[in-house]
Amino acid sequence: MTIDEVLSVLERVESEDLDPKSGRLFAYVYETGDENIRKVAEKALVRFAEKNLLDFTVFRSAVFFEKEVVGFAKSLMHGADALGSFTFGGTESIMLAVKAARDFYRKREGKAEVPEILAPISIHPAFLKAADYLGLKVVRLPVKEAKGDTDAFAEAVSNRTALIALSAPNWPFGTIDPVEEIAEIAVEKNIPLHVDACLGGFILPFFEMLGENVPKFDFRVEGVTSTSLDAHKYGYAPKGASVVLFRNAELKKCSMFVDVSSPGYVFVNQAVLSSRPEGPLAAAFAVIKYLSVEGYKNLASKILSARNKIYKGLKELGFESVGKVESSVLAMSNPEIDLMGFVNNMKKLGWQLHLQKGLKNYGIPDNIHLTLSPIHDEVAEEFVEDAAKAVEMEPEVDTKQIYAMAERGDFAEIIKGIEEGRLDSSVIPMLLESVPEDVAVELIKNVVIEWFR
């Protein structure tokens, strides 16, 4: 192909995507609406795309950028003496925190027991994935008012506990776990405590500066030993940018992998992957420098404004918040309407919402999830107007029929609907309620195999 022909293919395939700049997505992208951020990020991304983070003795710029990006993360988390590593995403940061906790546990307790992670049910699945990869077990504890329940942690700690994991905030509900309370248990029992601030790390500090009431969750809390924060979320850097921070060098060392036994080079990895482009790190640096604290504060105030408008609008339509509204996430339930129909109606009006299954045992109803970005401040009024229409609209898809199909185990039609864009993929968890977990996992793997075959 010629360059022009390749470019025309790119244009064609791109036309199938929702436009991430449109402000009509409420997850996946964190859009500011500021073209300069994109410009400065793209320049750095392209300029350093060919450099390899594998060997920082060759590419010295990697050391400079990493110290700068980690340094900014440390200042946000009030960890002047903390040590960090740059990673390609929250999952990788969490992977390293879990490995650190595992190796620290093994040093103390040996390898006899399967180490456990204690976490509220609302913890991000990256912890389940890390435990699966690294041979740990996650003990999932109940939530009270959509937050981790301190009493449940006090009861569950044992000599098998390698890590307590909490969120600030969790993704489903946007609530902040009671870090200060649970940290007391961690201190008393000398157990590492990770605060997953992948979502909140680059936004909650600025909410605090703007005078919002944000409970403490960072290194100011004694007992917090590690934390993760994603520059590619509210840091507004392009994807592939996160930081994991450790309170001391001993823990950071446990997160690393070094091999001196193989022929070839000394293998030194601070992160999970080895060869990686330097572009995302350089881009994260560029965006952080371009915005600096004032820029981030400014964007945070737009998010607060968007959140308050959308919250008020949805409340007037009969929606209720699932937990306390205290971050950049809204989780809204409405027992009066069919939420699956609502989400699909909104999809028809051009809005990509996310449907979430409730936790009946913990008093949490089904709800819709909105991760808010600065761009939403510009579209909040339009969103509320369309939400009012969507509540009244006759759903295009017969949701009763879909539930009935799921009940019968007839998923083929449902999957076709998703593939053809008639149904939103976030309906799936609602439909799998009657399917045993292992069967559901197998079913989903099969669908994905076919999707990519």
Q: To 5 degrees, how large is the angle CA 343–CA 344–CA 350?
A: 90
Closest separation in Å from C-beta 233 to ligand PLP: 6
As measured in angstroms, the least distance from the Cβ of 327 to ligand PLP is 10
In the complex with ligand PLP, the residue whose CB is nearer, 91 or 356, is 91
For ligand PLP, the nearest residue by Cβ is: 90
Residue span 236-255 as binding mask against ligand PLP, x where in contact by CB under 6 A, dash where not:
------x-------------
Task: Say whether residue 148 binds ligand PLP (CB under 6 A).
Answer: no
Of 33-62, which residues contact ligand PLP (CB under 6 A)? Answer: none
Residue 171 lies near ligand PLP (rule: CB under 6 A): yes
User: For 360, which DSSP code?
Assistant: G
Nearer to ligand PLP, 150 or 170 (CB): 170
**3-state DSSP assignment of residue 82:** coil
Q: Quick one: 197 or 428, whose CB is closer to ligand PLP?
A: 197
Q: Within a 10 A sphere around the Cβ of 338, how many other Cβ atoms?
A: 16
Q: What is the dihedral of CA 184, 142, 343, 303, to 10 degrees?
A: -10
- Candidates 32-40, 113-121, 175-183, 195-203 — which segment interacts with ligand PLP by CB under 6 A? 195-203
Q: How many CB atoms lie within 10 A of CB 46?
A: 12
Question: What minimum distance in Å lies between the beta carbon of 127 and ligand PLP?
Answer: 8
Query: Least distance in Å: CB of 272 to ligand PLP?
Result: 11
Can you list the pairs that 361-366 forms with residues at least 24 positions away whose Cβ atoms lie under 8 Å? Answer: 361/142, 362/121, 362/142, 362/143, 362/144, 362/146, 364/143, 364/146, 364/173, 364/322, 365/322, 365/333, 365/335, 366/333, 366/339, 366/430
Given 32, 167, 270, 345, the residue binding ligand PLP (CB under 6 A)? 167
By CB under 6 A, the count of residues binding ligand PLP is 13
Please give the backbone phi and psi of residue 225, each rounded to the nearest 5 degrees, phi first: -105, -20
What is the C-alpha separation between 83 and 225, in angstroms, rounded?
A: 11
Which one, of 82, 90, 414, 95, lies nearest residue 272 by Cα?
Answer: 95
Report 122-141 residues binding ligand PLP (CB under 6 A).
Answer: 124, 126
Those residues whose C-beta lies under 8 Å from the C-beta of residue 321, and which sit 6 or more positions away, are 311, 330, 331, 332, 333
Residue 245 contacts residue 74 (beta carbons within 8 Å): yes
Complex with ligand PLP: residue 353 or 423, whichever CB lies closer: 353
Stretch that binds ligand PLP, among 31-39, 87-95, 203-211, 422-430 (CB under 6 A): 87-95
Nearest to 361 by CA among 137, 141, 164: 141
> If you search the block for the tokens 């968890």, which residue do you land on?
429
Cβ closer to ligand PLP: 100 or 415?
100
Q: How far is the CB of 265 from ligand PLP (least distance, A)?
A: 28
- Give the residue with the Cβ less far from ligand PLP, 374 or 395: 374
Q: Render 244-255 in DSSP notation, one character per residue.
A: EEESSHHHHHHH
Out of 82, 179, 198, 251, point to the residue binding ligand PLP (CB under 6 A). Answer: 198
Q: Figure out which of the listed residues 116, 196, 218, 424 binds ligand PLP, where binding follows CB under 6 A.
A: 196
Per CB under 6 A, residues contacting ligand PLP are 89-91, 124, 126, 167, 170-171, 196, 198-199, 230, 242
